[in-house]
Amino acid sequence: MEADFVIVGAGSAGCAMAYRLSEAGASVLVIEHGGTDAGPFIQMPAALSYPMNMSRYDWGYQSEPEPHLDGRRLACPRGKVIGGSSSINGMVYVRGHAMDFDHWSEMGADGWSYADVLPYYKRMETWHDGGHGGDPTWRGTDGPLHVTRGPRSNPLFKAFVDAGQQAGYEVTGDYNGEKQEGFGPMEQTVYKGRRWSAANAYLRPALKRPNCDLVNGLASRVVMEEGRATGVEIIKGGKKQIIRARREVVLAASSINSPKLLMLSGIGAGAHLAEHGIDVVADRPSVGANLQDHLELYIQQAATQPITLYKHWNLISKGAIGAQWLFTKTGLGASNQFESAAFIRSQAGVQYPDIQYHFLPMAVRYDGQAAAEGHGFQAHVGPMRSKSRGAVTLRSNRAEDAPKILFNYMSHEDDWADFRTCIRLTREIFGQEAFAPFAGHEIQPGDALQSDDELNGFIKEHVESAYHPCGTCRMGRADDANAVVDPEGRVIGVDGLRVADSSIFPRITNGNLNAPSIMVGEKMSDHLLGRDALARANDAPWINPNWETAQR
């Protein structure tokens, strides 16, 4: 059991690396603890709330009691299945704003500015505009990852965009192109009616090659010999075995499991490792620190017309949608139902969007539990750049035990003001003329809640994770004491070991994290192969010319 490269985790970045490294002729072994992604619950886009809540596909992590949310423990699902979280996520495709990556570069991630990463976004995509406009020159035409748009046939999708325009906001035909700011169509990793996960896009084609294989097992530690990573120890059927890497070991196990594995392998804060009886190989206090996430609220409005998805919230209709999807891969089952979106700025003086909207023509909880009171629609809304930071730490020195995850949500005063702004701006959008034929009373938070204190109480009780954890193995310059990996993903202080997944993000990007995670896998593949990076792009993003003086 040995290969040139051993990758831990068959998730968004891991699958992309398996594809690119094996394509270049290197031998690759991918270690994945989860099993197959076969079956309708994962492959059918509209069934997205199921796999996320099935222990068969999810690590089942929860945060520690969050001190600023009255001790609530928030769910932190991570994919335990081939494809990783791209097999259980909401399939929303967002590259991130150009300025997010320029900020990475300023923080010491040299070579990760927008000009550097845009060519990798183009390389990974095959983009289908679906007749909804967009920026073809900014998009990819022949990559493994198919990106599409929903049909937007429900009139509420148009009402949302029209309402944004009536409220004075920008409209954009492609938030993944030149102009993120504004209201417009949402993009999804769905192709021919199926979830187009990293497993479908990258891993399946890679496994058809003779030099790429998948190994099932729980990675328990990186094997270190004289300061160099030489392999990975896995636990399989209660027995330990070692998978050897001739060239390098790459951790792509998520922003929760990658820092955990580093710590179990002796790389982390020395004192913390000593507490758990782990010998220190490299004292890197920032391993597991800098944990970030997006939080969101569901602002729900009752609908006065029976046009929402609520009419399908019964067994007969669900069965019919499921059957149509099973036999034809068409119909409501073939979309994640997030088909309109927006990115806006919270106030004048903010240079680029810091609020994201997902619009859904139904009022329902993300876990698919309680359909709200009949017909309704909702906007998922939240700030993009919270200043709160948490940490992932070890619970024990046993690989089988979940780590401790404390996001420290809402620990920064600005977060509360930001969320109150989100609620008030959303109410204003739902109050526009475009929604007049459809909007009834406000279900949640409800008209009674208006003051700062009332809204704070609602936020504390109802805010939920958008499931975008990242940042726990931060990328920076090799001489930066707070960095875990250098700009080529190499773990600082040891040889032959890299991290390549959302844990290396210096700061969270705008929007959902699947696209930037895959991009990291694509770009790191070139670093692993010792290739020159793709030529930088010259495209300049649209920045609102009045950002200093106007909120919209």
Q: What length does the chain have?
A: 552
Asked if 402 and 395 count as a contact pair (C-beta separation under 8 A), the reply is yes
Asked if 83 and 203 count as a contact pair (C-beta separation under 8 A), the reply is yes
> What CA–CA distance (Å, rounded) separates 428 from 426?
5
Asked if 8 and 252 count as a contact pair (C-beta separation under 8 A), the reply is yes
Is 499 annotated as a binding-site member? no
> What CA–CA distance (Å, rounded) separates 89 from 391?
22
DSSP-assigned letter for residue 485: B
With b for 16 or more beta-carbon neighbours within 10 A and e for fewer, the 106-118 pattern comes to ebbbbbbbbbbbb
Query: How deeply is 23 buried, as exposed, middle or buried, from its count of CB atoms within 10 A (0-12, 13-18, 19+)?
Result: middle
Q: Would you list the DSSP string of 80-124?
A: -BTTGGGGTS--B-----HHHHHHHHHTT-TT-SHHHHHHHHHHH
Q: Checking phi first, is residue 472 left (phi over 0); if not, alpha (psi -120 to 50) or beta?
A: alpha
Which member of 97, 146, 380, 468 is catalytic?
A: 468
List the beta bridge partners of residue 35: 81
Tokens for 323, please give them.
Answer: 């059957």
Is 89 annotated as a binding-site member? yes
Asked if 482 and 389 count as a contact pair (C-beta separation under 8 A), the reply is no
Nearest to 297 by CA among 363, 345, 368: 363
> What CA–CA distance (Å, rounded) separates 158 from 305?
15
Is 54 annotated as a binding-site member? no
How many CA atoms does the CB half-sphere of 429 hold within 13 Å? 33
Tokens for 5, please give them.
Answer: 């490269």
Q: Is 468 marked active-site?
A: yes
Is 200 annotated as a binding-site member? no
Is 524 annotated as a binding-site member? no
- Phi, psi for 278 (deg, rounded to 5): -105, 130
Nearest to 250 by CA among 512, 505, 498: 498
DSSP H or E run through 326: helix 315-328
Q: Which amino acid is at 385?
A: R
DSSP H or E run through 178: none
With b for 16 or more beta-carbon neighbours within 10 A and e for fewer, the 61-91 pattern comes to bebbebebbeebebbbbbbbbbbbbbbbbbb
> What CA–CA distance (Å, rounded) separates 107 from 102?
9
Active-site residues, by number, are 468
Provide the annotated binding site.
81, 89-92
Binding-site annotation: residue ranges for FAD: 81, 89-92
